[in-house]
Structure 1
Amino acid sequence: MAIQNEFGLTLRGIRNALGLSQLALAHRLGSTQRHISFLETGRSRATPEFLQRIAVELNLSTAQRSALFEASGLRNPFPERQLTDTEITQALDTIERRILQNWPFPAFALDKDWTILRANPSATAMFAMFGIDLSQANQSLLTMVLSPGFRTAILNWEEVSPGFYFRLMAAAERDRTVRVAFEAARASGLFDDVPRHITGGSSNPVMSCAEMGLPDGTRLRMTPFIGSLSTLQDVRLERIEIELMVPLDDVTETKLTSMFA
């Protein structure tokens, strides 16, 4: 039996992730199960035409398309750039200037492992109140949120912990760094109240909010709005999340406006 090549292993991994059998994938691509089998076992090599079909017919992420092209040995139209790359820097600068700085409340741009790539002045000012300097490079919002010092500032942790739990679970499926931190948080008992909160006797609210206690005694009620740019076609930027903190009452809005004006 032929030794599986890198492309075959990559194709099989993506096919399994999509929940497709070899036959189902062949039908989607107008090919045959035999051809898919030969590609996965290394008995056949991928052609540019095959890669074109798989990129057009399947709803692959940029990272999946990049992995297939890279493993094929053909020119990769989706290379993974570094954060220091000029085009990456320009894209992040645009996000910061056109989105984050136009939001009057704390806002961030996060990569797939929750590293803060950009933050607006309101976010910097809010975290400074807890002794956290966002001007330092490669700060992890995940580490901050799970740290005892910041988490104890969330006065209703039991109520909002399910939201953090399921958001982290989804991110952990995509990124090893988040997965390690998430598993450590679960092992520490941080999310032990989640099952009881979900199946408790009371109904869950339509919208949960985090109540944060500032060092001066002020209580802020906020919830995150998470979005993304649909036009990002880079492996590193594809899963960037833009997180805007939204005040949920007039007191919070007034306080944030006065603090960060």
Structure 2
Amino acid sequence: MHTVGELLREWRHRRRLSQLDLAIAANVSSRHVSLVETGKSQPSADMIIRLAEHLDVPLRERNRLLLAAGFAPRYAERPLTGERLSAAWEAIGRVVRAHEPYPALVVDRGWNILLANRALDPFLAYAAPDLLQPPVNMLRLGFDDRGLAPYLVNLAEVRSVLRARLARQLARAPSPELLALFEEYLGSPFSEGEERTSTAEIAIPMIFRFGGREIRLFSTTTSFGTPLDITLDEVSIESYYPMDDDSAAYFTQPDTAGRTRA
């Protein structure tokens, strides 16, 4: 079992900060950071949280730091649909539904879909039934050959951008589940010298072709800024927008049954 000092040093290296960098950011002496990392000084719970905040350590891992130092965890992990988070869950649902007629969905840290609005339904119709068994995974749905991958015109471009995004996510919050998905659908971890970012990443188009018709979308991600619950810290809302009038019409025109798609 790692000591709290070893874990803090690991996170500092992951963030590519020197002891002096961290000390200045946390308003402590670099000597104190050194003593904590080497186990020569036992940090208080508040000091651990202060250092963790400046290292951008996820809440789940902050609990691990506290436990390693002999303190009780500070951050709860409650179900989104439970009583304690009912207000947050209701707000999330309102945001997702208000985005109709365009698709929006909520994913957890493993990219499992927790909630989606009705605009996603036409896309799900193209996926194999086993991919739609709960929990539906967004990466598997998008990149599996039995999912939406055959319909994604710019699959290579989207995959490249998602590689960079997931690599950053794994650097911030390591997850065996997410790493397995990364290796299954996005290849091996970045090789030396490989480009890790994309200038087009902010508004990367996702171009689908269904029955000869192209639907061009771009997405945005919304997360909670200062959550105090692990569950809220690990969820995000993925919202999709049409890039042209014809794509917008796909979601608003009646389908063959005379109903609007959303």
Q: Distance in 1 between matches of 2:201 and 2:223?
A: 25
1:235 maps to which of 202, 207, 230: 230
Task: Provide the TM-score with structure 1 as the length reference.
Answer: 0.76
Letter in 2 for 1:227: T
2:168 maps to which of 170, 180, 205: 170
User: Greater Rg, structure 1 or structure 2?
Assistant: 1
Q: Is the CA contact 1:226–1:243 (under 8 Å) kept in the aligned structure 2?
A: yes
The answer for the alignment partner of 2:145 in structure 1 is: 148
Residue 245 of structure 1, CA deviation: 1.3
- The alignment partner of 1:244 has SS state of strand
The answer as to 2:182 corresponding to 1:182 is: yes
Q: Is the CA contact 1:221–1:249 (under 8 Å) kept in the aligned structure 2?
A: yes
Deviations 1:204-232 (A, max 9, x none): 79954222122x44321112122223243
Task: Provide the TM-score with structure 2 as the length reference.
Answer: 0.75
Q: Is the CA contact 1:155–1:211 (under 8 Å) kept in the aligned structure 2?
A: yes
1:99 maps to which of 75, 95, 100: 95
Letter in 2 for 1:99: V
Gaps in structure 1 of 5+ consecutive residues = 189-194
Q: Is the CA contact 2:6–2:37 (under 8 Å) kept in the aligned structure 1?
A: yes
Gaps in structure 2 of 5+ consecutive residues = 189-193, 254-259
Q: Distance in 2 between matches of 1:74 and 1:168?
A: 31
1:225 maps to which of 215, 220, 226: 220
Matches for 1:18-29 after TM superposition, within 5 Å: 18-29=15-26
Residue 165 of structure 1, CA deviation: 3.0
Q: Is the CA contact 1:171–1:179 (under 8 Å) kept in the aligned structure 2?
A: no
- Distance change (3 Å), C-alpha of 1:35 and 1:250: closer
Identity of aligned residues (%): 27
Aligned length: 247
- Distance change (3 Å), C-alpha of 1:125 and 1:58: same
Q: Distance in 1 between matches of 2:14 and 2:53?
A: 17
- Distance change (3 Å), C-alpha of 1:231 and 1:133: farther
The answer as to 2:209 corresponding to 1:213 is: yes
Letter in 2 for 1:161: R
Q: Distance in 1 between matches of 2:14 and 2:108?
A: 22
Q: Distance in 2 between matches of 1:56 and 1:122?
A: 37
Residue 106 of structure 1, CA deviation: 1.1
The answer as to 2:66 corresponding to 1:69 is: yes
